[in-house]
Amino acid sequence: MDALVTEAVERITKGEFTLRQLHRAITKELATVPLFDYVVYNASYGGFNYSDEFLAFSATQKIACRKQKMYDFGKLMAQKNAAAYATFIKSKDQGPHPSHRCHYDVYDDMSDDVKYGLHCASGVFCTLSMAKASALKWNYIEGYLKKGYDVHLVIEFLSKTPLDDINNGHYDGVLQSFAKAANRYTGGKQVYIRPLHELNGNWYAWTVFYKAPDGSNIPVYLDAYRRVVRVIRQSAPGKFLFQQHYNAVNYGADKYFPLKQMYAGDDYVDMVTVSVYNACGTSSVVLRSFVQVFNTFYYQMTAITSRPIGIGELSTTSYCGVDKPAWVREAWHQLAIKYTKVTAVDFFLENKPFGKTLKNWDLNTPADVSAFSSGWAEFRHGTCASETHASEA
């Protein structure tokens, strides 16, 4: 079976199949293997953290995940921060947490520059994505807290009917177990929970317009989101904060629904986050600047709530003639001078297959890496918002 799974992952990664096409092509026997679905999910959609099944499989594989990019990034950061680099080399380095398994597999083979790049690229908080709610384990989170990071945790509910399952209490036990384990933590770092993300789309089964363009799922979604918050709060009072995460625009609705209609309310939301992408050349044919994607959402949401705003996912493709380094630098610049209520920024830097092309969100060239680094440095130098956080997913 390992050979079949490896071949499937390689062919998806190369863009030979979409996920739907692959499911049509594989045999019924392979489709019944639970491991296979999780491997397909992660190969197609990226992310640092994998299901337990895939972790067990990948333990025997050598996956050079973004090694060249981290080498370039590490060299750049080492040059910019010579003193910090020297301290890092002298310190006891325990490597990334095992939940960042795609780096961990090849970590021991990496140069010091690459290792330093990994640590620098983590920013001041870590965004983790659990492929399924049942994989939730507090020890994954605690390792980052002990290293001095805040954590923004994305929880994905991957059943066929996640909203109904949540509302019927199917996930109560795993959420309670996870939250109760957090009660032992006595440090001062923060953990944000981001459940049911990109709520106003139609591509995840938990989104409000999934098979419901008339908006009839909005109250069902709101009940599910609020239940997740209540269950975790009751099990671990004061230990978690919560992010309600939108897409920058509604997608899949048959008429306009205001953002306020989908807002869970200040009692259930500590930060509003949003995905901001220029996807031109892939799922979109329109080239949009950072301002064009983000502006309307920002001013609508800041009129609805005084809760802080966070950018939960941010990137651009390099197609349609876009100057990707300039796009990235401009995003940092506008965040510094225009969108001052944004208190957390999380770039999504994973290339994702899209049909026969690639959503090349990552920093794929030295110019991309330089633009990200210099833009972040300019942002920090040019603002007084010392508490604004940046990271890459």
pLDDT band at 67 (very low <50, low <70, confident <90, very high): very low
pLDDT reported for residue 89: 67
Cβ-based burial of 108 (10 A; exposed 0-12, middle 13-18, buried ≥19): exposed
pLDDT number for residue 72: 52
Q: State pLDDT tens for residues 15-57.
A: 554 444 444 444 333 333 333 333 333 332 222 222 233 333 3
Q: How far apart are CA 28 and CA 287, in angstroms?
A: 41
Strand partners, 130: 155
Instruction: Render pLDDT for 254-284 as a digit per residue (tens, 0 to 9).
Output: 999 999 999 999 999 999 999 999 999 998 8
Alpha helix (H) residue ranges in the chain: 2-13, 19-25, 28-31, 34-45, 52-58, 67-80, 82-90, 101-104, 112-121, 138-146, 162-167, 172-181, 218-235, 290-304, 324-337, 366-382
Mean pLDDT of 87-91: 67
Mean pLDDT computed over 319-347: 92
| Nearest-angstrom CA–CA distance, 361 and 351 | 5
Q: Say which range, 50-59, 92-101, 190-199, 341-350, has the weakest mean pLDDT.
A: 50-59
Which of 141, 177, 183, 136 minimizes the C-alpha distance to 155?
136
Q: Which residues pair with 269 in a beta bridge?
A: none
| Banded pLDDT at 81 (limits 50, 70, 90) | low
pTM of the model: 0.69
pLDDT mean across residues, the chain: 75
**pLDDT value of residue 213:** 94
Q: In a 3-state reduction of DSSP, which class is residue 28?
A: helix
Lowest mean pLDDT among 75-79, 108-112, 209-213, 215-219: 108-112
Residue 227 has pLDDT above 60, yes or no: yes
For residue 244, what pLDDT band results from cuts at 50, 70 and 90? very high
Residue 238 pLDDT exceeds 70: yes
Question: Which pair of structure tokens corresponds to residue 359?
Answer: 């959503």
Better-scored residue on pLDDT, 247 or 88: 247
pLDDT of residue 270: 97
pLDDT of residue 137: 81
Higher pLDDT, 326 or 159: 326
* Rounded distance between C-alpha atoms, residue 286 and residue 268, angstroms: 35
pLDDT tens-digit profile of 377-392? 888 777 654 444 555 5
